[in-house]
Structure formats: C-alpha cells, structure tokens
C-alpha cells in the first residue's frame, strides 16, 4: 500500500496483461481483484469491511470481494470515484458472468456446502 505499510489479503489476482509479478516481497501495483473472507469476530469484520476496503480503494484495487461464511453472502464491490461501490450481493444459487470476471461462474450453494464440511463439530 506504501513503502512502509501494507495489507495481506486472503486472496489476490491479476488479470492477463499485467507486468510480471516480483518473485518475492511487496508488489508495487494493485491487483485487479482482492478477496477477503470475513472472520467471525466483530473487530475482523470491521477491519475487512471498512479499513481494508478503504486501503484497497486508495491503492487502486478495482474489484473487492467479501465472502462471509457465517452470513452466507458474497459481496462484490467495484472501484468507482476512489471508493468501492457494491455491484453484487448474493446468498445462494449460481452466479453466471460474475461482475469483473465474465467467464467465471460461481455455485454459491456448493461453496456453502464445502464450508459446512470444513466446520469442526464441537460435540
């Protein structure tokens, strides 16, 4: 985000046509897509929804996705006028021609089923 400050996203992606990424260390140009998975604590939720969103917008990240396993939501935000504006919110079903990734289809019901398989039963 700057020479002295950065963020580590859960997942980042660059679309074809970008310069070669460095082998290691910080990347000096924004990814096209950042995906954050919301953690269950209120502080983490606030950080992902507000602090990181603002930082990524200032850095120039075009697409910002928030995946909330507890709420079972996918929110897709697009950079517009130096801030992220929600373009899509979905809870289930299938998303075809995902905003920003027209060749991508997502089956959210299958995603949430996978999440359920990862949850450890406390009993």
Concatenated DSSP letters for 26-72? Answer: --SS--SEEEEEPPSSHHHHHIIIIIIHHHHHHHT-SEEEEEETTTT
> Do the domain assignments include residue 6?
no
Domain limits at 65?
11-118
Query: Is a pLDDT exceeding 60 seen at residue 72?
Result: yes
CA dihedral defined by 111, 115, 116, 120, rounded to 10 degrees? 170
pLDDT of the residue at 3? 52
> Do the domain assignments include residue 28?
yes
> Do the domain assignments include residue 4?
no
pLDDT of the residue at 39? 85
117 compared with 21, residue with greater pLDDT: 117
> Do the domain assignments include residue 80?
yes
**What's the structural domain count of the chain?**
1
> Do the domain assignments include residue 27?
yes
pLDDT of the residue at 57? 95
- Scanning the structure block, which residue is given the tokens 């400050």? 5
The share of the chain scoring above pLDDT 70, in percent, equals 90
Max Cα–Cα distance, the chain, nearest Å:
50
Query: Is a pLDDT exceeding 50 seen at residue 1?
Result: no
């Amino acid at each position: 985000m700057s020479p002295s400050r950065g963020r580590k996203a859960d997942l980042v992606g660059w679309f074809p046509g970008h310069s070669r990424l460095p082998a290691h260390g910080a990347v000096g140009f924004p990814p096209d897509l950042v995906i954050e998975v919301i953690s269950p604590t209120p502080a983490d939720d606030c950080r992902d929804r507000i602090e990181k969103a603002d930082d990524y917008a200032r850095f120039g990240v075009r697409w910002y996705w928030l995946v909330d396993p507890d709420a079972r939501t996918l929110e897709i935000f697009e950079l517009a006028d130096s801030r992220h504006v929600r373009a899509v919110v979905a809870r289930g079903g299938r998303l075809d021609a995902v905003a920003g990734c027209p060749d991508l289809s997502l089956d959210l019901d299958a995603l949430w089923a996978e999440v359920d398989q990862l949850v450890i039963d406390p009993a």
